[in-house]
């Protein structure tokens, strides 16, 4: 018997189900990224943290769904799917590059509309919302877009080397870049959740001071973590990143007497 299609099954992938977890970590991919990007991080998390990797429409098993070209609309859709899950356990958010912007807007919805404060927002490889800038990459021709993908090394080399796979993937990638580059920060109340900014020390697309600007967007605590590597430092530093996530959630939940082991 086929399982029913629900908002949760459309949006979230549980690569390592942990029914007894104390915290759900919602993982938001970069432009052109898919839920599978977070498989290595999910695998390295402790039993008390369950990763829910977001699958944006337009890729992998959602390749027939129309991509969303607006960060605010994307966050709203994810919020609607996530709402029922907030009753089960606390939520933390991890977003890389474009995913950090989606995570920020998702945190705003959780706090502002649901009264649910995330345990933490991990904002990786992305300037603070108020420091947003665009390079106009989504307006380039296919060759220009592919050149950018090669430059930042964020797309599976098997796709870049396969003309047919690349042809299928480019529309979603271009839509994501449009969403990321046309994002407009709307001034409003600061978040109250803690924020951890993460970046690579040789990232050509974002500087450490730009990531440090995230401290302006919360009344909670902020700290900056700088790793060796470029825009996709997570590939080489996955164990260290998983350690930062684990330590941060352990400390945060200890304050509410919900230990992370």
Catalytic residue positions, numbered? 97, 231
Q: Could you give the C-alpha distances from 162 to 155, 156, 157, 159, 169, in angstroms and in order?
A: 12, 10, 9, 5, 11
Q: Which residues does 120 contact at the CB level (< 8 Å), separation at least 6?
A: 92, 93, 193, 194, 195, 196, 248, 249, 252
**CA angle at 156 for the pair 67 and 204, rounded to the nearest 5°:** 90
From residue 119, alpha-carbon distances to 2, 35, 112 in Å are 35, 21, 15
Contact 118, 195 (CB under 8 A): no
CA dist., res. 18 & res. 231, Å (int)? 30
The answer to whether 230 touches 221, Cβ cutoff 8 Å, is no
Q: Cα–Cα distance between 137 and 174 in angstroms, integer?
A: 8
Under 8 Å between Cβ of 64 and 97: no
Give the Cα separation of 181 and 98 in Å (integer). Answer: 9
């Amino acid at each position: 018997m086929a399982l029913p299609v629900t908002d949760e099954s459309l949006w979230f992938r549980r690569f390592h189900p942990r029914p007894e977890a104390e915290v759900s970590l919602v993982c938001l991919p970069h432009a052109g990224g898919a839920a599978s990007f977070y498989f290595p991080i999910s695998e390295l998390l402790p039993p008390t943290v369950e990763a829910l990797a977001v699958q944006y429409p337009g890729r992998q098993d959602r390749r027939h769904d129309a991509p969303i070209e607006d960060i605010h609309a994307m966050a709203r859709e994810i919020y609607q799917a996530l709402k029922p899950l907030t009753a089960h356990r606390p939520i933390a958010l991890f977003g890389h590059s474009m995913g950090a912007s989606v995570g920020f807007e998702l945190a705003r919805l959780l706090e502002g509309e649901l009264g649910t404060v995330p345990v933490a927002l991990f904002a990786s490889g992305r300037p603070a919302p108020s420091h947003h800038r665009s390079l106009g990459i989504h307006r380039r021709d296919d060759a220009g877009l592919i050149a950018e993908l090669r430059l930042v090394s964020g797309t599976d080399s098997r796709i870049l080397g396969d003309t047919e796979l690349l042809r299928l993937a480019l529309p979603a990638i271009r839509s994501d870049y449009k969403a990321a580059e046309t994002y407009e920060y709307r001034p409003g109340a600061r978040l109250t959740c803690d924020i951890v900014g993460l970046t690579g020390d040789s990232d050509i697309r974002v500087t450490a001071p730009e990531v440090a600007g995230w401290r302006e967007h919360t009344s909670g605590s902020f700290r900056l973590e700088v790793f060796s590597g470029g825009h996709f430092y997570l590939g080489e530093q996955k164990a260290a990143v998983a350690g930062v996530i684990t330590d941060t959630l352990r400390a945060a939940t200890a304050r509410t007497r919900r230990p992370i082991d």
